[in-house]
Structure 1
Amino acid sequence: MKLLVTGRHGQVVRALVERSGGNRAFETVAIGRPQFDLANAATIRNAMEEERPDVVVSAAAYTAVDQAESEPDEAHRINAVGPGVLAEAAAQMDIPIIHFSTDYVFSGMSPEPYSEEDQPDPQSVYGRTKLAGEAAVAAANPRHVILRTAWVYSPFGKNFVKTMLRLASERDEIAVVSDQWGNPTSALDIADGIVQIAGRLAEKPFDKCFGIFHLAGTGDTTWSGLAEKVMQVSQENGGPFAGIRPITTAEFPTKARRPVNSRLATRKLAQVYDWVAPDWQRSVEATVVRLLQSPDGPS
């Protein structure tokens, strides 16, 4: 089976290339600019015709949440228009598409974890453009799987876990927001989920295989709780350590509003695809240990 995944350097892309590399049933091809550019419809269609995959994984996106507030048109082109063109090209070739979305499509004000049936109410440009991308993909290709995820980290690129390790090597104390809740999600776990989903889609999918699903780590915590776990594992394995000072969202203002509650219910994915992400603490431990053991350290 050939998976075509958009983007070359994102966390999910790199995780998927690594995870599928050991599976002889999968060939994963990652494409990015200039061959594939979400802001250039011609490159999207050309790449699809050239690669002719069995399943498309739409992972590339405009993810600069605060910068999007100043670049709404660019964010919309990349997060909404481009994925719609990709989904249409896939539909014309009778290919299913797996498209990634985000917890930011919700207001974050619910006291409960969000299910797929809950009404979106994005509070930022990023969230609104990602919701528009969901609609564009669904309208263009009925054979779509839209995966909302949250709080993604990995051994690759820039993310919260790597930032905490870097800061711990530079200071004794780190101030971290303690009143936002979510499901820390390893990109490597996301990649495992994609392999499971893609395998089902390439066989004989039934109607319930398509639609919106939530894919996130099992269990929840706050950003400060996640930071404390990172410090615990790092200290136990001889890595850098810093104390975590909990602060409120009001004490750490950002240009774009962050959801207070980013928790996602994942029962639907478990029921349809028989896949559940590992406990978030176990996945964080594995990532921290790997980063500490890497030749380049936790940079």
Structure 2
Amino acid sequence: ANIPFSLNVGELLREAWDRYQLPLALTEVHMACTREEQLRWFYETYQTCMKLKKEGVDFRALTAWSYFGSFDWNSLLCVKNNDYESGVFDIRSGKPRATALAGMIKSINQGQPYKNNLLDVPGWWRRSDRLIYKPENEILCVPNSVAENTEPAVPILIVGATGSLGSAFAKICHKRGIIYYLSERGQLDIASDVSVRKTLEAIKPWAVINAAGFARIDEAEVSTETCYRENTTGPVLLAEISKSMGIKFVTFSTDQVFNGEKRKPYSVNDQTHPLNFYGLSKKIAEEQIGNMNPESLIIRSSCFFNPWHQNDRLGMILRSGLNSDRQIFLPSDIIMSPAYIPDIVNTVLDLLIDGESGIWHLSNQEETTLCDFARLALEMAGLNENIVSAVPSSKLDYAALRPSYSVLESSGGITLPLLNHALTNFVHEFYKEPSFQVMNQSTL
């Protein structure tokens, strides 16, 4: 028999009321997940309870759990991994930081209407993409009022369709049920006032994420005009027009704004002294955007690695690992803090939804050299790490100077997973990529 299933908490509460006729309350209304799903879960429950109350059910209370989050609750405190699960407030910095849930609950308590574009999409528990194997005659639960909006959902505009960062934002937004529009270079010229205004007026996004930019550090030394246009002029213009239209803005900077003279992780309060033109272009963009649109969110990070992008540097090294005859020379004297793009993207989306602003540092907590980083990845992938040889950076004919130490101290208590954990995920995702499967078959 085909048995319809339902995830409608209202039906369960109604059953309880009809049977016992006693006052009802829902406590610990919380979901361990991404921020927008936390919002959707709590708001759906709130709307359901208010509907029952209007129908005569004696509903007394609705509470969130937990107000200040919890540590290691994912193992019921059986394993001490210091895994933090954010609640209404995030306390990892030592001072409670209000998340988007705090704003929602405050509005509800004050009897004010709450509007958030992310509520226009149903939660994952109401989306068919939650199922790996769908029943042949699946009967989906009836959408609640959160999902009944027939108007097109307001998107995030992601600038930089072909880049590693932009494509990762698109992939993860899709997974999280966040509506987005991914613009390509031919569609939007970020350094053109006319092009930017035309695009924003047409798409009407609630946020702009600038994931584009000139990232070739050595080439920037000779292509200074192009680098400045893509890393400074364009982002500043995007930030300015976004502000004028009431649109949130996110952009990315780099560890290259520092000179490396400090021998402990750089904080957001440390002075910037770039050694190369790429870093200078980012430094100027930071300053101009911060002065002109202080509500912007600026993310500093370092040495991205992304398993989903064909041109990812670490991915190309792993592909070389299938042919151990090819030797790769990497510097042994440049120390940095790598950043796994999926971790970065998920964290940035949460910060954006929380309404955070200013400069934030994000990295996977550990410092390493480029050489050791590549060797560790090869070893974890079961490949020959000896194809990587350590050399001084002075032997690599870099056109641009690089800081010898550019480790970033994560901001606001935000801690991304440890590097080993990130690399484990990278290798797992890398081996699933179609490009690897084709390449691996060709070597058999």
In the superposition, the TM-score normalised over structure 1's length comes to 0.89
| Residues 55-70 of structure 1: pairs in structure 2 closer than 5 A | 55-70=207-222
Look up the SS of the partner of 1:269 in the other structure.
Answer: coil
Q: In the alignment, which residue of structure 2 is the partner of 1:48? A: 200
| 2:345 is equivalent to residue 198 of structure 1 | no
| 2:429 is equivalent to residue 293 of structure 1 | no
The separation in 2 between residues aligned to 1:63 and 1:41, in whole angstroms, is 23
User: Could you tell me which of 236, 246, 253 is aligned with 1:94?
Assistant: 246
Mark the runs of 5 or more structure 1 residues left unpaired by the alignment.
202-208
| 2:256 is equivalent to residue 104 of structure 1 | yes
User: What do residues 63-102 of structure 1 show as CA deviations (whole Å, max 9, x unaligned)?
Assistant: 1211111111111111111111101111111222111000
User: Could you tell me which of 279, 282, 288 is aligned with 2:418?
Assistant: 279
Mark the runs of 5 or more structure 2 residues left unpaired by the alignment.
1-117, 119-154, 440-444
Contact 2:256/2:275, CA 8 A, preserved across alignment: yes
Query: Percent identical across equivalent pairs?
Result: 25
Higher relative contact order, structure no. (Cα contacts within 8 Å, ≥ 6 residues apart): 1
Q: In the alignment, which residue of structure 1 is the partner of 2:32? A: none
The separation in 2 between residues aligned to 1:128 and 1:64, in whole angstroms, is 13
Q: In the alignment, which residue of structure 1 is the partner of 2:366? A: 219
User: What do residues 17-55 of structure 1 show as CA deviations (whole Å, max 9, x unaligned)?
Assistant: 11121223x212211222111232321121111112112
The separation in 1 between residues aligned to 2:407 and 2:179, in whole angstroms, is 33
Q: In the alignment, which residue of structure 2 is the partner of 1:187? A: 341
Look up the SS of the partner of 1:67 in the other structure.
Answer: helix
Q: In the alignment, which residue of structure 2 is the partner of 1:121? A: 273
Q: In the alignment, which residue of structure 2 is the partner of 1:260? A: 404
Structure whose alpha-carbon radius of gyration is higher:
2
Q: In the alignment, which residue of structure 1 is the partner of 2:58? A: none
The separation in 1 between residues aligned to 2:190 and 2:261, in whole angstroms, is 32
Residues 277, 242 of structure 1: alpha-carbon distance in 2 compared, 3 angstrom cutoff:
same
The separation in 2 between residues aligned to 1:163 and 1:295, in whole angstroms, is 14
Shift of 1:233: 1.4
The separation in 2 between residues aligned to 1:217 and 1:49, in whole angstroms, is 37
The separation in 1 between residues aligned to 2:329 and 2:295, in whole angstroms, is 44
User: What do residues 218-270 of structure 1 show as CA deviations (whole Å, max 9, x unaligned)?
Assistant: 211111111111111121xxx5654432211112120011221120001x232
User: What do residues 118-137 of structure 1 show as CA deviations (whole Å, max 9, x unaligned)?
Assistant: 11001111111111111222
Contact 1:174/1:242, CA 8 A, preserved across alignment: no
In the superposition, the TM-score normalised over structure 2's length comes to 0.61
Look up the SS of the partner of 1:115 in the other structure.
Answer: coil
Matched letter for residue 188 of structure 1:
P
| 2:180 is equivalent to residue 28 of structure 1 | yes
RMSD: 1.7
The separation in 1 between residues aligned to 2:191 and 2:434, in whole angstroms, is 36
User: What do residues 115-158 of structure 1 show as CA deviations (whole Å, max 9, x unaligned)?
Assistant: 11111001111111111111222233121111100010102142
User: Could you tell me which of 163, 168, 190 is aligned with 1:38?
Assistant: 190
Matched letter for residue 263 of structure 1:
V
The number of equivalent residue pairs is: 283
Matched letter for residue 53 of structure 1:
P
